[in-house]
């Protein structure tokens, strides 16, 4: 079931606590960034804390996965290497919910990392587009009967538009 939650300042606190934990596990081997709706002040969302772990190369990612699995993070059995990133979760096989952690392990030159950061930063700096995104998510959530895959696909056109705008803005 897909439930959208109002933004909470607790999301930043959860991220900071998780970041400290990840730094201890990974010995500061990577850059750790908060992405997704919980990283955008005022943005409603699923309440899942998305975190990107940015490494120099795939070998570092593979070593990190082993360490994270030992610390009870779950490697996605469905799709471990999607969109140039490895996906892990604190939720295991159950459906993710409010306060769960999603880890996106990727390299510094990956498209998914760059796009996630561009999208996040653009919405933080552009309140009108942020509100459009919030409205779109609520509209979609009413149409999809809890289907997260449909929810993600139906947001994609808007996300791509924002990423394109962000790239144009960066090249000015």
Residue ranges and CATH numbers for the domains of the chain are 10-170 (3.30.460.10)
- Report the distance separating Cα 149 and Cα 7, nearest Å: 22
Residues 100/107/111/137 CA torsion (nearest 10 deg):
10
Read off the DSSP letter of residue 8. -
Q: Which residues neighbour 155 within 8 Å (Cβ) at sequence distance 6 or greater?
A: 133, 136, 137, 140
Q: What is the pLDDT along the chain (172 residues), one digit of tens a residue?
A: 678 999 999 999 999 999 999 999 999 889 999 999 999 999 999 999 999 999 999 999 999 999 999 999 998 765 545 567 898 998 776 667 788 999 999 999 999 999 999 999 999 999 999 999 999 999 999 999 878 889 989 999 999 999 999 999 988 5
Q: Render 107-128 in DSSP notation, one character per residue.
A: ETT-HHHHHHHHHHHHHHH-HH
- Report the distance separating Cα 113 and Cα 131, nearest Å: 23
123, 43 contact by CB (below 8 A): yes
Q: pTM of the predicted model, to two decimals?
A: 0.91
């Amino acid at each position: 079931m897909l439930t959208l939650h109002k933004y909470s300042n607790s999301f930043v606190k959860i991220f900071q606590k998780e970041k400290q934990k990840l730094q201890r596990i990974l010995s500061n081997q990577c850059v750790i960034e908060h992405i997704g709706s919980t990283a955008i002040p005022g943005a409603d969302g699923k309440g899942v804390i998305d975190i990107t772990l940015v490494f120099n190369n795939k070998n570092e990612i593979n070593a990190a996965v082993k360490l994270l699995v030992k610390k009870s993070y779950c490697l996605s059995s469905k799709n471990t290497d999607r969109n140039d990133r490895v996906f892990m979760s604190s939720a295991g096989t159950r459906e993710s919910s409010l306060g769960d952690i999603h880890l996106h392990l990727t390299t510094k030159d990956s498209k998914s990392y760059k796009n996630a950061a561009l999208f996040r930063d653009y919405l933080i700096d552009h309140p009108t587009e942020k509100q459009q995104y919030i409205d779109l998510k609520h509209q979609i959530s009413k149409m999809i009967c809890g289907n997260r895959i449909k929810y993600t696909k139906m947001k994609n056109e808007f996300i791509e538009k924002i990423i394109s705008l962000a790239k144009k803005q960066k090249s000015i």
